[in-house]
């Protein structure tokens, strides 16, 4: 239980990912599926940022004002920059892929005038 409280953010990561996954599988609406995909993605980003966070650390910008000395004497006082840059690019790529998903949904709407999966399948069968 103590472990669970100390790792509370990882619990939230799993919950968010599962909410996103549930939405992608169970929701019939294409827009809701897209939002679910984005929520799944932010869950993963939260995971990466959490593992890179350090207790009592400052942001990874080395300035005199923050009492950093060059070279940095204590690395544990600066947050991990590596996980941050991986996720920074992932966010921008994420919005581009969300755009592709929405474009596909829009194209489907043009053909079937519905975002609902069941109605689309029914239209296909006709």
Instruction: Please report, as residue ranges, which positions from 26 to 85 form the binding site for another protein (by CB under 8 A).
Output: 26-29, 31-32, 34-36, 38-39, 42, 45-46, 49-63, 70-72, 75-76, 78-85
- For another protein, give the closer residue by CB, 2 or 124: 2
Among residues 88, 102, 28, 17, which one has the least CA distance to residue 52?
Answer: 88
For the CA atoms of 25, 46, 96, 107, the dihedral, rounded to the nearest 10 degrees, stands at 20
Min dist CB 65 to another protein, Å, is 10
- Please name the residues in contact with 11: beta carbons below 8 A apart, sequence gap of 6 or more: 4
**Cα–Cα distance for residue pair 87/79, rounded to 1 Å:** 14
Q: Does 100 bind another protein (CB under 8 A)?
A: yes
Q: How far apart are CA 28 and CA 71, in angstroms?
A: 55
Closest separation in Å from C-beta 66 to another protein: 10
How many residues in the shown chain lie near another protein by CB under 8 A?
91
Least distance between another protein and beta carbon 16 (Å): 6
Kindly state the tokens that stand for 118. Answer: 């069941």
The yes or no reply on residue 121 touching another protein (CB under 8 A) is no
91 binds another protein (CB under 8 A): yes
> From the CB of residue 1, how many other CB atoms can be counted at a distance below 10 Å?
5
3-state secondary structure of 67: coil
Binding-site member from 67, 115, 123, 126 for another protein (CB under 8 A): 115
Give least dist CB 124 to another protein, A: 17
């Amino acid at each position: 239980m103590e472990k669970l409280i100390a790792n509370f953010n990882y619990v939230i990561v799993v919950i968010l990912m599962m909410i996103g996954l549930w939405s992608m599988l169970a929701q019939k609406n294409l827009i809701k599926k897209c939002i679910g995909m984005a929520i799944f993605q932010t869950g993963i980003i939260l995971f990466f940022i959490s593992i890179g966070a350090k207790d009592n650390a400052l942001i990874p910008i080395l300035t005199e004002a923050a009492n950093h000395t060059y070279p940095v004497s204590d690395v544990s006082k600066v947050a991990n920059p590596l996980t941050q840059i991986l996720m920074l690019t992932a966010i921008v790529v994420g919005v581009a892929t969300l755009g592709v998903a929405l474009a596909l949904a829009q194209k489907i709407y043009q053909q079937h005038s519905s975002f609902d999966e069941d109605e689309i399948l029914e239209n296909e069968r006709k």
